[in-house]
Chain A
Amino acid sequence: MKAFSYERATSPAEAAALAGRTPGARFIAGGTNLLDLMKLQIETPAHLIDINGIGLDRIEATEEGGLRIGALVRNTDLAADQRVRRDYALLSRALLAGASGQLRNMATTAGNLMQRTRCPYFYDSNQPCNKRQPGSGCAAIGGFSRAHAMLGTSEACIATHPSDMAVAMRALDATVETVRPDGSVRAIPIADFHRLPGDTPHIETALDPGELITAVTLPKPVGGRHIYHKVRDRASYAFALISVGAIVQKDGSGRVALGGVAHKPWRVEAADAQLPAGAKATAAALLAGARPTQDNAFKIPLVERTLGAVLAQAEAMR
């Protein structure tokens, strides 16, 4: 790890202001991803702003009938919240499918959104990676790419976003609330929060420098049957090869998002519209324009079959 200075912020606005005037600063909350990358010197912040003491650890009802989830609510607590388990089961299920009990006790809601790819070439500093070192190339393209993306990829990057939680947030139409170093606040729809790699894969979110996530809000519950189906190499504690998050209503309509296939949670409006027509039609809409590699082409039929299993499960839950 490179040496860094450290301070504790006492409020969200103060944290953002500190980040705005401190070059090379990063926020640290759970630390489960940032410290991992700092040990490998993939992340080398000169200064850490500890935000664990700034509040933002509550889940509150909103006036619109939804929930406002503080940025520092731990993954365990979010998954176990009675309102989330009852009204947003997709979110509970996605969280519980991710990481381990220990990591979920540390990892935060905002940190989960901010986590970086697990592409092995991003982690291997002996390999070129446009995300780690812009302009150096992409070792995954033409390399071992079984776990990589097939949608929204570019010539610069085929990494996936690793989060399960973000897939549920995408299907639930969450909104990311932030504060900027100048004190101004804004709300970013989850659809616009994560970026596709394009020719700047090192820029992963819509956040400005120093901008701090304060909360993630969920609109009022939409009902329906909530299913998160994650396919992975082990039964537990592994990242997704692909995952399907779906909310299916009694009439067969609903919404669906995919994990493990792109640089961001993947949702297509045209695919939502196909849900009543079944897995084949829905998968075709979701996967339109897919450019798999030789290694990850298996994800194409895997998405369709997993979607089939999800719709069958939804039918059985009627």
Chain B
Amino acid sequence: MQSPADFDMSRRGVLITGTASAAVTAVPGVANAYAPSASTGKAPIMSTVAFTVNGKDYKVELDTRTTLLDALREHLKLTGTKKGCDHGQCGACTVIVEGRRINSCMTLAVMHEGDSITTIEGLGTPGKLHPMQAAFVKHDGYQCGYCTPGQICSAVAMLEEIGRGIPSHVSADLTAQPEISIDEIRERMSGNICRCGAYSNIVEAVQEVAGQRA
């Protein structure tokens, strides 16, 4: 029987093969794009940045164009954070930086010198799930699962925002402590799109964790 690890390996093997063959056909274009050219001045410009991800210190040299998302996935190989739209519209890339949820696709890695970053890999482990991860499993808060790491990182930080008293568009009283209602959860999670439409189960999972915290 194939273990999950075997499956992971074989799936990655297929992806790598596919990428390699695509690269062969794309060589002329790639070579042009990356060849240092004095006339255009468009050669990659490198920069070094150091930050902490999931409690571990990293120092990496990156093309300045590298987003935090690409640094996590392509350089640190933390592929739990997903690339959806790559334009800040879908929320699949949500990570927690200095305690705040952000779209990692809409920020450059070099802008995070000294920052502390938490990704889905840092919230829990397969043997010890974060309560939000466990609640998503229990309530079936996904179908394909692609948006799930972003949904979970977003939900964890979102409950912290409510805890800090940050109001939302649907808060009736701006000056009161916001409540944890379905309307509040839906509004505050609107930056995370689920194209499978698992929203009702996502809301249930978040509600359960919020109830445990209260």
Interface of A toward B, CB cutoff 8 Å: 1-6, 8, 28, 30-32, 35-36, 39, 46, 48, 50, 52, 76, 79-80, 82, 85-86, 89, 92-93, 96-97, 99-103, 105-106, 235-237
Residues of B contacting A85 with CB < 8 Å?
A: 167, 174-175
Q: Is B188 an interface residue (CB 8 A)?
A: yes
Point out the residues of chain A lying under 8 angstroms from B44, CB to CB. Answer: 3
User: With A6-B47, A92-B167, A106-B106 in contact, do A35 and B67 touch (Cβ < 8 Å)?
Assistant: yes
A236 touches B103 (CB 8 A): no
Does the CB pair B102–A93 fall under 8 Å?
A: no
Asked if B45 and A5 sit within 8 Å, CB to CB, the answer is yes
In the complex the two chains form, is A2's CB within 8 Å of B42's CB?
A: yes
Contact status of A31 and B107, CB under 8 A, knowing A36-B87, A96-B169, A100-B190? yes
Option from A4, A79, A89, A103 in Cβ contact (under 8 Å) with B64:
A4
The tally of residues in B whose CB lies under 8 Å from a CB in A reads: 45
B63 contacts which chain A residues (CB < 8 A)?
A: 3
Given contacts A80-B167, A103-B88, A237-B190, contact A35 B154 (CB under 8 A): no
Taking a contact as CB atoms under 8 Å apart, the answer to whether A79 and B166 are in contact is: yes
Query: Contact mask B184-197 → A, CB, 8 Å, 1/0?
Result: 00111111100000
In-complex Cβ contact of A96 among B91, B94, B164, B167 (8 A): B167
State whether the Cβ of B134 lies closer than 8 Å to any Cβ in chain A.
Answer: no
Once the chains are docked, how many angstroms separate the CA of A99 from the CA of B67? 20
Do A101 and B103 contact each other (CB < 8 Å), given the known contacts A35-B67, A236-B169? no
CA distance A218 to B167 in the complex (A): 21
Q: What are some 16 contacts across the A-B interface (CB < 8 A)? A: A3-B45, A3-B64, A30-B107, A39-B86, A50-B110, A80-B165, A82-B175, A85-B174, A92-B174, A96-B167, A96-B168, A96-B169, A96-B171, A101-B188, A105-B101, A235-B190
Contacts of A105 in B (CB 8 A): 100-102
On chain A, the residues within 8 Å of B161 by CB distance are: 76, 101
B102 touches A106 (CB 8 A): yes
For residue A29, give the distance in angstroms from its CB to the closest CB of chain B: 9
Report whether B64 and A6 are in contact in the complex, using a CB–CB cutoff of 8 Å.
Answer: yes
> Residue A32 contacts which of B41, B86, B88, B169 (CB distance < 8 angstroms)?
B88
Asked whether B16 is an interface residue with its Cβ less than 8 Å from the other chain, the reply is: no
B65 touches A (CB below 8 Å): yes
Which one of A1, A2, A35, A96 contacts B107 once the chains associate, using CB atoms below 8 Å? Answer: A35
What residues on A are CB-neighbors of B168 within 8 Å? Answer: 96
Query: Which residues 88-144 of B sit at the A interface, judged by CB distance below 8 A?
Result: 88, 91, 94, 100-103, 106-108, 110-111, 113
**B contact residues around A93 at 8 Å (CB):** 169, 174
Whether B110 lies near A106 (C-beta < 8 A) is no
The answer to whether B43 has its CB under 8 Å from any CB of chain A is: yes
Contact B190 A3 (CB under 8 A): no
Are A31 and B42 within 8 A (Cβ)? no
A residues in contact with B47, CB < 8 Å: 6
Given known A4-B45, A39-B86, A92-B174, contact A31–B108 (CB-CB < 8 A): yes
Kindly report which residue of chain B lies nearest to residue A99, judged by CB atoms. Answer: B191
Given known contacts A3-B42, A105-B100, A237 and B64 CB-to-CB distance under 8 angstroms: no
Contact B88–A36 (Cβ < 8 Å): yes
A306 to B169, CA, bound (A): 17
Determine which residue in A32, A97, A102, A237 has the highest number of CB atoms from chain B within 10 A of its CB, and name it.
A102
A102 to B97 CA separation, bound complex (whole angstroms): 11
Most buried by A among B65, B164, B169, B186: B169
B195 to chain A, nearest CB (A): 15
Closest 3 CB pairs of A and B: A100-B191, A236-B190, A237-B190
In Å, the complex CA distance between A237 and B44 comes to 35
Do residues A35 and B108 form an inter-chain contact, with CB atoms below 8 A? yes
Contact at A46–B88, with CB atoms within 8 Å? Answer: no
Within 8 A of A (CB), among B38-59: 41-45, 47
Does chain A have a CB within 8 A of B158? yes
Please, how many angstroms separate the alpha-carbon atoms of A3 and B166 in the complex? 38
